[in-house]
Structure 1
């Protein structure tokens, strides 16, 4: 979301950051900043030359996005959360607590799935199936077993 502004005061200009400054301080590529903006996660103003200028609080918003991604949330999940804030406001500590509470069931589900996969992974490595379609992690009923042992799909049997 881009908003074109008229002339700003010297104090306002000094508090605005160029896209390169935002990217450097956030530890991201400028393309990521543009991507976040194109997807409505952050906003910028345009100066008279048409260059993007970001308010300093965008750094907190980008940090929020990075942390949310790090814990496994998709951009659409992050966008839905940010959309609940009034007028694109940067999340506060209170907002984060509310989001964390709402995300907890989703994260618990993902953690349980990862733990299950981790616990089954060592059994999978030595089975010799060589087929994701026959793997108990992807094919819990093991329909390939009806064709015999070994890498059934690699031997020419057709997956259902």
Structure 2
């Protein structure tokens, strides 16, 4: 990483605030090097790391779910195609599960979701006397598919 990007350059390139970049740095998502003057310098590969984090978070993944995968990538150099394939394989499984859960939500949202409200006529058929309460709190018909 010759001269590297300044934190301002990285912020401009990713659309993230400088404070967000520092936050990700504290979680070892990116690992800048210091130049002779002590300033942080980031590699171009950090743009991809941060972009990946932003995309994954937009899909609902938490940083604690994302970070372990990025910690396995090489520091201070661009990840290989094999590195990204390994990560994408794991995330594909998680994304597919979320798609299934969203489709289930879409298909059941206008019916009984097992929440105990008993306000719909169909609740008397699917959840008579709030029998779903024995399974736990919340919308049992929907949460059962995501856990």
> Cα RMSD (Å) of the superposition?
3.3
- The Cα offsets for residues 110-148 of structure 1, whole Å up to 9 and x where unpaired, read as 2111111122222369x9x399xxx99xxx84439xxxx
Conservation of the 8 A alpha-carbon contact between 1:22 and 1:54: yes
4+ residue segments displaced more than 4 Å: none
Range moving further from structure 2, 28-37 or 88-97? 88-97
For the residue of structure 1 that corresponds to 2:2, the secondary structure is helix
Aligned to 1:95: 83
Tell me how far 1:71 sits from its aligned partner.
3.5
Structure 1 runs not aligned, ≥5 long = 1-10, 145-160
Conservation of the 8 A alpha-carbon contact between 1:61 and 1:90: no
- Which structure would you say has the larger Rg? 1
Match of 1:33 among 21, 32, 45: 21
Q: TM-score, normalised by structure 1?
A: 0.62
Is 2:36 the partner of 1:44?
no
Tell me how far 1:34 sits from its aligned partner.
0.5
For the residue of structure 2 that corresponds to 1:55, the secondary structure is coil
Equivalent pairs, count: 125
Conservation of the 8 A alpha-carbon contact between 1:64 and 1:91: no
Q: Which structure carries more strand by proportion?
A: 1
